[in-house]
Amino acid sequence: MNFKRSSRDEPEINLIPFIDVLLVVLIFLMLSTTYSKFTEMQVKLPVADTEPHRTLPQEVIVTITASGAYGVNKTMLESRRVDALAAALTLAAGETPAETVVIINADAAARHQAVIAVMEAARRAGMANITFAAQTASPASAP
């Protein structure tokens, strides 16, 4: 009979794969976490006096329908090409295209490419001041 104990190696716990998995989970949680929105903060804006005799810049309103048709100052354009839109913007701006403000009034269902086309046409026409029109949400329809 052999009563001699067999020598067994001590079990070893390897922590490196465990740490790797925890770091991957941590990175995933950091990237997928949504942070609180700043729009939920209640902020009261300061009041400032404005000049009574302020001259308003010339405005050109570009309308984009849901189907992608363009209108410049309530005149619908036949073509949807950027060149035709740039020509219409140049005509609407008159002699001061650099000082003219382009207001893009796009339908909510309009394609993003249609809005980019208006911005490209404004650049070709020499108009750098572009703004977007938006409808204010009523308190009842706000999420």
The CATH number of the domain where 120 resides is what?
3.30.420
pTM for the structure as a whole = 0.56
The reported pLDDT for the residue numbered 116 is: 92
Residue 53 lies in a domain: no
The reported pLDDT for the residue numbered 98 is: 80
Residue 67 lies in a domain: yes
The reported pLDDT for the residue numbered 119 is: 92
Domains identified in the chain, total number: 1
CB atoms within 10 A of CB 124: 15
The reported pLDDT for the residue numbered 24 is: 93
The reported pLDDT for the residue numbered 23 is: 94
The reported pLDDT for the residue numbered 139 is: 57
- Burial-class residue 8 by CB neighbours within 10 Å (0-12, 13-18, 19+): exposed
Residue 15 lies in a domain: no
CA 45 → CA 39, 48, 50, 54, 138, distances in Å? 13, 10, 15, 22, 20
Could you tell me the maximum CA-CA distance found in the chain, to the nearest angstrom? 113
d(CA 132, CA 64): 11
Residue 7 lies in a domain: no
Residue 13 lies in a domain: no
Q: Can you give the residue range of the structural domain that contains 98?
A: 59-132
The reported pLDDT for the residue numbered 93 is: 86
Tell me which amino acid residue 63 is.
T
- What is the mean pLDDT for each group of 10 consecutive residues in the chain (143 residues)? 68 86 91 62 58 66 88 86 90 84 86 90 89 70 52
The reported pLDDT for the residue numbered 32 is: 81
Residue 91 lies in a domain: yes
d(CA 129, CA 119): 10
Angle at 88 between CA 79 and CA 90, to 5 degrees: 150
- What is the SS3 assignment for 79-120? CCCHHHHHHHHHHHHCCCCCCCEEEEEECCCCCHHHHHHHHH
Residue 122 lies in a domain: yes
Residue 35 lies in a domain: no
